[in-house]
Structure formats: structure tokens, C-alpha cells
Amino acid sequence: MRKEKTLIGILSGLVDLLVEESARNPEFATSIDRLLSDLPERKTVSKRRAPKPPSPKFLPDIHAEWNARGEMEFRLWIREQPITVLRALIRTQDFDSTRRTTKWKEAEKLADFITDSLRARLLKGSAFIRRETSE
């Protein structure tokens, strides 16, 4: 930090010296102007906005689709969904708490992740359902 302050002080003094010399010597001032005119102007970068994710009320009910279609047909159906819908489903269902899927670009990979997460969640819930014993 101290070196930065020292460097800032030196550069500030150098600029002051250049201004004084430019005021006294017109040739020096024109050469400084020519030198500084070659600097490229700063380009403004436009921020690209990501498409808005669909609101949760417009998302499909994946639990109902799973029950209606079964696992294999659900896999085929979920792969047809757009990536924005798949990402919104992952976010609303809280399948990816570590946010590792944010870098994934392939719809099939996201769809498989949703299917596997849903299957794991359903299997976990089935442990609490009482099964009838045959005696």
C-alpha cells in the first residue's frame, strides 16, 4: 500500500511538471497532445441480459408428470423442455443446493439431473410409507 501511494505521488508530480512545461513551451504542448491523441477511447460494453426465467406458476408440475407418465416417458418429456424451464425447475425444487448445474449448457444433462434428483427424492419419501406384510 505504501508503494502505491509513493507511486501515485511520483506520477502526480510528473503530471504537474508536464503541465508547467506545456504552458511554457508550445512545441512541447503539441507533441504531448499528439502523443495522447493516439490513446484509444474506452469502449462501452453493453450488458447482455439473460432471459428471464419463467415464473413458478407457469412451470410444469413434475410430480404430476412423473405419476402420469412413469420414469421412462418422463425422461423423454423432460428432455423436450427448454433450458430456461429446466433451470427454473431445478431452482424451485431446490435440487441443486451447491449450484453446480449453473455452468451446464446441455438440456439432456439438466433433464437427467432433474430426473435422477426426483427419483432420489421419491425413494427417500417412500421409506416412510408403511408396507403391508404378508403373513
Residue showing cell 504552458: 23
The pLDDT of residue 1 is 63
Spatial distance between the Cα atoms of 69 and 88, rounded to a whole number of angstroms: 21
Model confidence at 129, in pLDDT bands (50, 70, 90)?
low
Q: What is the mean pLDDT of the chain?
A: 85
The pLDDT of residue 130 is 56
pTM over 0.75: no
Predicted confidence (pLDDT) per residue in 58-108, tens digit: 889 999 999 999 999 999 999 999 999 999 999 998 999 899 999 999 999
